[in-house]
Amino acid sequence: MTLSSLSPVLETVSEAHRLRLDPISTPERLLLGPGPSNAHPTVLQALSRPPLGHLDPLYLELMNEVQEMLRYAWQTENRITIPVSGTGSAAMEATIANSIEAGESVVVGVIGYFGQRLVDMCGRYGADLHVIEAPWGEALSLEAIAQALEQHKPKVLALVHAETSTGVCQPLEGVGDLCREHNCLLLLDTVTSLGAVPLKLDELKVDLAYSCSQKGLSCPPGLGPLTMGPRAEEKLDRRQSKVPNWYLDMSGLKSYWGTDRTYHHTAPVNMNFGLREALRLLCEEGIENAWARHRRNSERLWAGLEAQGLELHVPLELRLPTLTTVRIPEGVDGRAFGLHLLNKHGVEIGGGLGALAGQVWRIGLMGTNSTPANVDLLLNLLELELPAFRSAAAAA
């Protein structure tokens, strides 16, 4: 077959392909699930700026600003404080890859789905794993943590501060001191707490922490903030083996994000434009004001949910102000109700994960979405729309 005889076929294929590629069009959604949350309009504008080269002097200056504002958000002076080029799970893996060597004893606290993910990742890096658990909806006691450190003498203790699957905030008072006593690093998941839940890493003696861009910081997903304290840096420098993940190896990344600015990989510059603006807005508000705003709005939500007779899964003293788990009323199809809110009203809430699948809704109030207006909107929708689903359940 000659090229000329193929021409009509190629034109037909090309035309069909062209017709399928209409410009992207997405509906407006109010994202009140476990994440992502809506990005602030100023952040979206920053994302659309013309790119700069990842070694452009102007971009290098922006990198400095991002690092300094991340330190403020986490309340830390850690030298290695960077946005990993990847989502929060990449930052999670980076903390593990850089802090654990094969065969080392590691204790992981599991209070939900993301504690289980830490277990999985640590296992993949060859850790001698020891797991301590609490029921989904509860937190680990300081006594249980102390016992595990005494028994297993780990090099790293990994905990989830804000467990997104359950809505539990793990108390941290005294944990850092225990880790210093037992000469182990404290690694913390702050994915659903950074920028929204009171957290002062240096005061708490946290050695490594990671987060994401799309929740309390009101930026789209794509970056994973990570911070590494002096004790974690020292352990990294004393490794007997290379970090087994090249892309996430802080030995190389710290040169790009440090004073040398040595090329490591092509950075997602526009994502960092967005993160820079998100952090600027947080700094303008003030971190303690942001913490207080999230608390006020969550309390407004909790009171409204309970006034409607809905049961909250987590006791008050352990509840996250960013993520609330609500027990699905008996007989109600939780997934169908969530789809109803999404399709009819453009409002997203999340379903349960893991052990809580089908049992709870997860409602997020994070970053720019944490407002009284959004709380009242959701409460009104629940009051108007849920009775029909309850009636259907009763009739069945």
Average of pLDDT values for 325-340? 96
Which residue, of 231, 252, 284, is where some domain finishes?
284
Query: Is 383 part of a structural domain of the chain?
Result: yes
**CA-atom Rg of the chain in angstroms:** 23
Indicate whether 172 and 225 sit together in one domain. Answer: yes
Report the chain's mean pLDDT, rounded to a whole number.
94
Average of pLDDT values for 353-366? 96
Query: Is 178 part of a structural domain of the chain?
Result: yes
- Residue 24, pLDDT score: 87
Is residue 274 scored above 90 in pLDDT?
yes
The least confident of 79-83, 88-92, 250-254, 278-282 is: 250-254
What percent of the chain clears pLDDT 70, i.e. is strictly above it? 94
Q: Distance between CA atoms of 220 and 44, rounded to whole angstroms?
A: 8
Q: Distance between CA atoms of 280 and 217, rounded to whole angstroms?
A: 10
Number of separate domains in the chain = 2
Is residue 226 scored above 90 in pLDDT?
yes
- Looking up tokens 């004893």 gives 105
SS3 50: coil
- Residue 17, pLDDT score: 56
How does residue 256 score in pLDDT terms, banded at 50, 70 and 90?
Answer: confident
Between these two residues, 283 and 261, which has the higher pLDDT value?
283
Query: Is 198 part of a structural domain of the chain?
Result: yes
Which residue, of 284, 305, 329, is where some domain finishes?
284
Indicate whether 46 and 151 sit together in one domain. Answer: yes
Is residue 381 scored above 90 in pLDDT?
yes
Is residue 208 scored above 80 in pLDDT?
yes
- Residue 266, pLDDT score: 87
Q: Distance between CA atoms of 36 and 300, rounded to whole angstroms?
A: 21
Indicate whether 258 and 291 sit together in one domain. Answer: no
Report the first-to-last Cα separation within the chain, whole angstroms.
64
Query: Is 296 part of a structural domain of the chain?
Result: yes
- Residue 260, pLDDT score: 79
Give 149-198 pLDDT, tens digit per residue. Answer: 999 999 999 999 999 999 999 999 999 999 999 999 999 999 999 999 99
Is residue 299 scored above 70 in pLDDT?
yes
Query: Is 139 part of a structural domain of the chain?
Result: yes
Give 6-57 pLDDT, tens digit per residue. Answer: 555 555 555 555 556 788 888 999 999 999 999 999 999 999 999 999 889 9
How does residue 296 score in pLDDT terms, banded at 50, 70 and 90?
Answer: very high
Indicate whether 131 and 185 sit together in one domain. Answer: yes
How does residue 259 score in pLDDT terms, banded at 50, 70 and 90?
Answer: confident
Q: Provide the whole-model pTM.
A: 0.92
Is residue 5 scored above 60 in pLDDT?
no
- Residue 54, pLDDT score: 86
Per-residue tokens: 146 = 């102390």
How does residue 130 score in pLDDT terms, banded at 50, 70 and 90?
Answer: very high
Q: Is the dihedral of CA 69, 72, 73, 77 positive or negative?
A: positive
Is residue 240 scored above 80 in pLDDT?
yes
Indicate whether 149 and 240 sit together in one domain. Answer: yes
- Looking up tokens 């303690």 gives 288
Is residue 1 scored above 70 in pLDDT?
no
Q: Distance between CA atoms of 240 and 101, rounded to whole angstroms?
A: 8
Query: Is 253 part of a structural domain of the chain?
Result: yes
**Domain containing residue 386:** 30-36+287-395
Which residue, of 222, 257, 284, is where some domain finishes?
284
Q: Distance between CA atoms of 375 and 300, rounded to whole angstroms?
A: 7
